[in-house]
Amino acid sequence: MKLAVTSIVDLTLNNIQVVSKLLAEKRRGDEMSVLKITVKEFADVASTLIYTSEYNELFNNSEERLLAHLYKQSADDLDYAILAFVERLYISNTVAFAVQYGENPINIKRLEKKDLEGSLLGKCEFWKILRSIRYNLYTNAGRAFTSAEDMEKLDRYINHIAYELAEKGVE
């Protein structure tokens, strides 16, 4: 039996959906409404973004890349932007958790650069953590706790990695 594929986009989207479903099945039972993701996991995300050139290059969208070129953004500037992004995700996750479960008062420790020194993650583990972070940024009432720009950046990574996992297949 031949599979009718109308375009390469349909095939790719189908692969991404299959990968997402398979990986979600592996994680079934792990998720609650909102989880407090550990500082170490955020540190691992930061290190993976900074020290993996593929992800480092994907950080800025096309407008940000143009501005970085015009203003001659250094590698240190990009690292700082990545650390600030990850800290915002950490703060957003902490606030979402506190609101969801009625924590009072809400105390959020600001992260220092040394707090965000972690390990490099493999592609699949990185994808899982990013998806967990995204999932956590919404409460059951549908309230979002991060900016549209940060959500777009997070989605860009999730989709990029899902595409790569779909291309090579799930083990």
The number of beta carbons lying within 10 Å of the beta carbon of residue 41 is 19
Does residue 27 belong to any structural domain of this protein? no
**Residue 26 predicted with pLDDT over 90:** no
Whether pTM > 0.85 for this model: the answer is no
**For residue 114, what is the DSSP state?**
G
Does residue 102 belong to any structural domain of this protein? yes
- What is the total count of domains within the chain? 1
Does residue 13 belong to any structural domain of this protein? no
| C-alpha–C-alpha distance, residues 93 and 74, integer Å | 29
Residue ranges making up the domain that contains 130 = 34-168
| C-alpha–C-alpha distance, residues 57 and 40, integer Å | 23
Does residue 68 belong to any structural domain of this protein? yes
Give whichever of 7-11, 14-18, 26-30, 58-62 has the largest mean pLDDT: 58-62
Residues across the chain: 171
pLDDT digits (tens, 9 = 90+) for 96-105: 888 888 888 8
